[in-house]
Amino acid sequence: MKVIVTGACGFIGFHVSAKLIEDGHHVIAVDNINDYYDQKLKQDRLKILEELSTRTNSFEFHKLDIENMGDLENLFKAAKPKIVIHLAAQAGVRYSIENPHAYVSTNISGFLNILECCRHNGIDHLMYASSSSVYGGNKDMPFSESDAVDHPVSIYAVTKKTNELMAHSYSHLYGIPTTGLRFFTVYGPWGRPDMALFKFTKNILSGEPIEVYNAGNMSRDFTYISDVVRAIVELITKIPSKNEHYGSEEMNAGSSWAPYRIVNVGNSCPSKLIDFIAVLEKALGVKAEKRLLPMQPGDVEGTECDCKKLKELTGFSPGVNIEEGISQFVEWYNMYYDRITVQTGMNDRITAGLA
């Protein structure tokens, strides 16, 4: 089937696009390849996607900004997709405190453009990236989709909760089936350089100290990229439908009468940051110099995913542990930054970093 993937040159979008191509789908990739982080990394991901599809001609790339409604409308009209996987966003909790306008422009206005294009082009299923950040100040764990999410602690989280509310209104008003994916701290090969694992690895290998917030006592439900990809692919055909019985049963924040659904995607096995670092040190064979810092604004002390809904819908639960996941990341990182070039007929070891 034809699938539009926005943010296709980003971390998750790249892996999802690669899997869809391998599964025989036609991927219409959208990305503006902005300079939030190293553009070469994004270009190298794109080269791999182009290489994967050379025999099947099942991939097309459009350098396009989702904030540009005219370009987006033209693409939807020409492509006529049935599935949209919207992963383009301004990412990063801490950067949202420094530059909130970028998050409103991309994550809210850009998402409105996606919704409008889905509304006018007969989309069968819109899937979009939300985040565990929406749980904000919640203290009871594990976090469930049925929990209220009324206390965000960062602008990034605000934009993601706003996306969920916008999706619900479009599901209600226009019958668009939507699935919001609340990702829990995704990591792995080809990851984002602004994320902790990437920064820690770079600094440790270069002999520089790493910044460890809250003395490493924060916990995160680290979720490996291959688990995230499988969850997304499994959910594509699990299209939400209207629930005529809503209201006669227990009502909660994760359900609706509309064809609307929220699904947690996490490992359900949180680790303390200091333990995560210890596993990384072992994989690298190098001890880190740690600069212990207080908790940062916008951070939360812990996350833990209740993944029962994902398993009920798909039969699948994420399960890659941090020892395996970090080992795979370190292997990819060492090869990529040892100047193994990404080119046509690329080295199989680089493509092994795919989920």
List the pLDDT tens digit at each of the 355 positions of the chain. 999 999 999 999 999 999 999 999 999 999 999 887 889 999 999 999 999 988 788 999 999 999 999 999 999 999 999 999 999 998 776 767 778 888 898 999 999 999 999 999 999 999 999 999 999 989 999 999 999 999 999 889 999 999 999 999 999 999 999 999 999 999 999 999 999 999 999 999 999 999 999 989 999 999 999 999 999 999 999 999 999 888 766 667 778 999 999 999 999 999 999 999 999 999 999 999 999 999 888 788 899 999 999 999 999 999 999 999 999 999 999 999 984 444 434 445 455 567 6
Whole-structure pTM value: 0.94
CA distance 338 to 97: 34
CA distance 11 to 111: 19
Find the DSSP H helices in 264-346: 273-284, 308-314, 322-336
DSSP 268: S
Q: Give a three-class secondary structure readout of 181-214.
A: EEECCEECCCCCCCCHHHHHHHHHHCCCCEEEEH
Q: Is 174 a catalytic residue?
A: no
The H or E element containing residue 176 is: none
User: Tokens standing for 354?
Assistant: 């795919």
User: Tokens standing for 235?
Assistant: 């959910």
Q: What are phi and psi of 272, to 5 degrees?
A: -70, 145
CA distance 237 to 277: 37
Q: Which of 156, 170, 224, 260 is catalytic?
A: 156
Backbone region of residue 24 per phi and psi (left: phi > 0; alpha: psi in -120 to 50; beta: other values):
left
Whole-number pLDDT of residue 177: 98
Residue 264 bridge partners (DSSP) = 182
- 94: exposed, middle or buried (Cβ count in 10 Å: 0-12, 13-18, 19+): middle
Whole-number pLDDT of residue 176: 98
CA dist list (Å): 268 to 97, 148, 239, 320: 28, 19, 24, 10
* Domains present along the chain, CATH in parentheses: 2-187+223-268+305-318 (3.40.50.720)
